[in-house]
Structure 1
Amino acid sequence: MTDKMKLDLSVILPGIPDAADACVSRLLERLRGRDGVDDAHILPAIDDQSPQLCIHYDPDRLSLARIRELATGAGAQIGARYGHAVLDLGGPVHQRRARTLGDRLLSIPGVLEADVSAGGLARIEYDREEADEAAIRAALDRKDARPNPPEADHAGHDHGPGEHGDHEEGHAHEHGGIFGANTEIIFALACGLFLAVGFAIDKLIADRPDWLPLALYVAAYGCGGYFTLREAIDNLRLKRFEIDTLMLVAAGGAAALGAWAEGALLLFLFSMGHSLEHYAMGRAKRAIEALAELAPQTALVRRDGQTVEIPVEQLAVGDVAIVKPNERLPADGFVLVGESSVNQAPVTGESIPVDKRPVDDPQAAASQPDKVAAAHRIYAGTINGAGAIEVQVTRLSKDTTLAKVVQMVGEAEAQKSPTQRFTDRFERIFVPAVLGLVVLLLFAWVVIDEPFRDSFYRAMAVLVAASPCALAIATPSAVLSGIARAARGGVLVKGGGPLENLGTLRAIAFDKTGTLTEGKPTISDIVPADGADEKELLRISVAVESMSDHPLATAIAAGGRERLADTAIPTATDLRSITGRGVQATVEGELVHIGSPKLFGEAEGEPMPQALRDDATRLEEAGRTTMVIRKGARYLGVIGVMDTPRPAASATLARLRNLGITRMVMISGDNQRVADAIAREVGLDEAWGDLMPEDKVTAIRKLKAEDKVAMVGDGVNDAPAMANATVGIAMGAAGSDVALETADVALMADDLAHLPFAVGLSRQTSRIIRQNLYMSLGVVAVLLPATIFGLGIGPAVLAHEGSTLVVVFNALRLLAFKDVVRGIG
Structure 2
Amino acid sequence: MSPEAIPTSAPTTRPAPADSAASRRYEIRVGGMTCAACASRVERKLNKLDGVSAVVNYATERARVECPADTDPRLLMNEVERAGYTARRVDDVRTDDGPGDGRVTELRWRLAVAAVLAVPVCDLSLALSLFPELRFPGWQWVCLLLAGPVVTWCAWPFHRAAVNGLRHRTSTMDTLVSAGIVAATLWSLWVMVKGGPVEPGLGRGLAVLGGGDHALYLDVAAGVTTFLLAGRYVEARAKSSAGAAMRALLALAAKDVEVLREDGPVRVPVSELLVGDEFVVRPGEKVATDAVVREGRSALDTSMVTGEAVPREVLPGDAVIGGTVNAGGRLLLRATRVGADTQLARMGRLVERAQEEKAAVQRLADRISAVFVPVVLVLALLTFAGWLLLGGDTATAVTTAVAVLVVACPCALGLATPTAVLVGTGRGAQLGVFIKGPQALESTRRVDTVIFDKTGTLTEGRMHVVDVWASPGTGRDELLGVAAAVEHASEHPIARAVVAAAGSGPVPPVSDFSALPGLGARGTVDGRGVVLGRDRLLADVGFDIAGDLQARRASLEAGGVTVVLVGWDGAARGLIAVADRARPSSAAAVTALRALGLHAVLVTGDNERTAQAVAAEVGIDDVVAGVLPEGKAEVVRRLQGEGHRVAVVGDGVNDAVALAAADLGMAIGHGTDAAIEAADIVLARDDLFVVADAIELSRRTHRTIRWNLAWAFGYNVAALPLAMAGLLGPLIAGAAMALSSVFVVSHSLRLRRFTPTHGEPARPAPAVLSR
Q: TM-score normalized by structure 1?
A: 0.69
- 1:219 maps to amino acid: P
Offset from partner CA, 1:30-77 (integer Å, 9 cap, x none):
9x543167xxxxxxxxxxxxxxxxx9x993499969x9xxxxxxxxxx
User: Aligned partners of 1:643, 1:63: CA distance in 2, in Å?
Assistant: 47
1:217 paired residue number: 147
Aligned counterpart for 1:345 among listed residues 291, 298, 303: 303
2:698 paired residue number: 762
Counterpart secondary structure, 1:729: strand
Preserved CA contact (<8 Å) 1:348 1:734: no
| Relative contact order higher in (CA < 8 Å, ≥ 6 apart) | 2
Q: Closer, same or farther in 2 for the Cα pair 1:415/1:213, shift >3 Å?
A: same
Mapping of residues 64-79 of structure 1, within 5 Å: none
- 1:423 maps to amino acid: A
Is 1:249 the counterpart of 2:219? The answer is: no
1:41 paired residue number: none
User: Aligned partners of 2:31, 2:411: CA distance in 1, in Å?
Assistant: 22
2:66 paired residue number: 125
- 1:266 maps to amino acid: V
User: Aligned partners of 1:713, 1:742: CA distance in 2, in Å?
Assistant: 10
Indicate the larger mover: 339-348 or 692-701.
692-701
2:46 paired residue number: 105
Aligned counterpart for 1:450 among listed residues 392, 397, 405: 392
What stretches of structure 2 of length at least 5 have no aligned partner? 129-133, 189-216, 468-485, 503-508, 519-553, 564-575, 760-771
Is 1:654 the counterpart of 2:591? The answer is: yes
2:11 paired residue number: 59
Quote the offset at 1:355 in angstroms. 1.3
Quote the offset at 1:339 in angstroms. 1.7
Quote the offset at 1:745 in angstroms. 0.9
2:118 paired residue number: 195
Preserved CA contact (<8 Å) 2:24 2:69: yes
Quote the offset at 1:799 in angstroms. 2.0
User: Aligned partners of 1:804, 1:561: CA distance in 2, in Å?
Assistant: 60
Quote the offset at 1:342 in angstroms. 1.0
User: Aligned partners of 1:449, 1:643: CA distance in 2, in Å?
Assistant: 86
Aligned counterpart for 1:814 among listed residues 738, 743, 751: 751
1:35 paired residue number: 5
Q: Closer, same or farther in 2 for the Cα pair 1:515/1:392, shift >3 Å?
A: closer
- 2:423 maps to amino acid: S
Aligned counterpart for 1:663 among listed residues 599, 615, 619: 599
Quote the offset at 1:299 in angstroms. 1.6
User: Aligned partners of 2:699, 2:499: CA distance in 1, in Å?
Assistant: 47
Is 1:228 the counterpart of 2:168? The answer is: no
Aligned counterpart for 1:172 among listed residues 97, 101, 106: 97
Q: Closer, same or farther in 2 for the Cα pair 1:439/1:92, shift >3 Å?
A: closer
User: Aligned partners of 2:39, 2:94: CA distance in 1, in Å?
Assistant: 17
- 2:334 maps to amino acid: Q
- 2:449 maps to amino acid: A
Q: Closer, same or farther in 2 for the Cα pair 1:788/1:146, shift >3 Å?
A: closer
Quote the offset at 1:345 in angstroms. 1.6
What stretches of structure 1 of length at least 5 have no aligned partner? 1-29, 38-54, 68-77, 149-153, 157-167, 360-375, 526-541, 548-552, 573-581, 583-616, 627-638
Q: Closer, same or farther in 2 for the Cα pair 1:229/1:571, shift >3 Å?
A: farther
2:192 paired residue number: none
Preserved CA contact (<8 Å) 2:46 2:53: no
User: Aligned partners of 1:353, 1:295: CA distance in 2, in Å?
Assistant: 18
User: Aligned partners of 2:41, 2:345: CA distance in 1, in Å?
Assistant: 29
Preserved CA contact (<8 Å) 1:409 1:492: yes
Is 1:261 the counterpart of 2:261? The answer is: no
Q: Closer, same or farther in 2 for the Cα pair 1:61/1:502, shift >3 Å?
A: farther
Quote the offset at 1:106 in angstroms. 2.6
Mapping of residues 8-47 of structure 1, within 5 Å: 33-35=3-5
Q: Closer, same or farther in 2 for the Cα pair 1:817/1:558, shift >3 Å?
A: closer
- 1:494 maps to amino acid: K
User: Aligned partners of 2:275, 2:263: CA distance in 1, in Å?
Assistant: 17
Q: TM-score normalized by structure 2?
A: 0.74
Is 1:422 the counterpart of 2:364? The answer is: yes
Indicate the larger mover: 228-237 or 90-99.
90-99
Identity %: 31
Preserved CA contact (<8 Å) 1:103 1:114: no
Q: Closer, same or farther in 2 for the Cα pair 1:246/1:561, shift >3 Å?
A: closer
Q: Closer, same or farther in 2 for the Cα pair 1:59/1:768, shift >3 Å?
A: closer
User: Aligned partners of 2:150, 2:691: CA distance in 1, in Å?
Assistant: 52
1:356 paired residue number: 314
Quote the offset at 1:313 in angstroms. 1.6
Number of residue-to-residue matches in the alignment: 656
Q: Closer, same or farther in 2 for the Cα pair 1:238/1:518, shift >3 Å?
A: farther
Preserved CA contact (<8 Å) 1:730 1:746: yes
Mapping of residues 558-707 of structure 1, within 5 Å: 568-569=513-514, 643-658=580-595, 660-670=596-606, 675-704=611-640, 706-707=643-644
Preserved CA contact (<8 Å) 1:36 1:62: no
- 1:411 maps to amino acid: R
1:19 paired residue number: none
2:729 paired residue number: 792
Counterpart secondary structure, 1:508: strand
User: Aligned partners of 2:309, 2:421: CA distance in 1, in Å?
Assistant: 24
User: Aligned partners of 1:416, 1:332: CA distance in 2, in Å?
Assistant: 31
Preserved CA contact (<8 Å) 2:32 2:85: no
Quote the offset at 1:652 in angstroms. 0.5
Preserved CA contact (<8 Å) 2:655 2:675: no
Q: Closer, same or farther in 2 for the Cα pair 1:727/1:242, shift >3 Å?
A: farther
- 2:292 maps to amino acid: F
- 1:214 maps to amino acid: L
Preserved CA contact (<8 Å) 1:87 1:170: no
2:269 paired residue number: 311
2:76 paired residue number: 136
Offset from partner CA, 1:355-378 (integer Å, 9 cap, x none):
12223xxxxxxxxxxxxxxxx222
2:434 paired residue number: 492
Preserved CA contact (<8 Å) 1:712 1:730: yes
Indicate the larger mover: 471-480 or 303-312.
303-312
Preserved CA contact (<8 Å) 1:105 1:139: yes
Preserved CA contact (<8 Å) 1:665 1:687: yes
Q: Closer, same or farther in 2 for the Cα pair 1:143/1:342, shift >3 Å?
A: farther
Offset from partner CA, 1:224-243 (integer Å, 9 cap, x none):
43322344455556765432
User: Aligned partners of 1:105, 1:90: CA distance in 2, in Å?
Assistant: 15
Quote the offset at 1:341 in angstroms. 1.0
Q: Closer, same or farther in 2 for the Cα pair 1:557/1:343, shift >3 Å?
A: closer
Q: Closer, same or farther in 2 for the Cα pair 1:64/1:351, shift >3 Å?
A: farther
Quote the offset at 1:625 in angstroms. 9.4
Preserved CA contact (<8 Å) 1:90 1:173: no
Counterpart secondary structure, 2:367: helix
Preserved CA contact (<8 Å) 1:747 1:754: yes
Counterpart secondary structure, 2:337: coil
**Could you say what the CA RMSD is over the residues aligned between the two structures, in angstroms?**
4.4
Larger Rg over CA atoms: 2
Q: Closer, same or farther in 2 for the Cα pair 1:303/1:681, shift >3 Å?
A: closer
1:8 paired residue number: none
2:258 paired residue number: 300
Aligned counterpart for 2:450 among listed residues 491, 503, 508: 508
1:321 paired residue number: 279
Q: Closer, same or farther in 2 for the Cα pair 1:279/1:647, shift >3 Å?
A: same
Quote the offset at 1:654 in angstroms. 1.1
Quote the offset at 1:212 in angstroms. 5.4
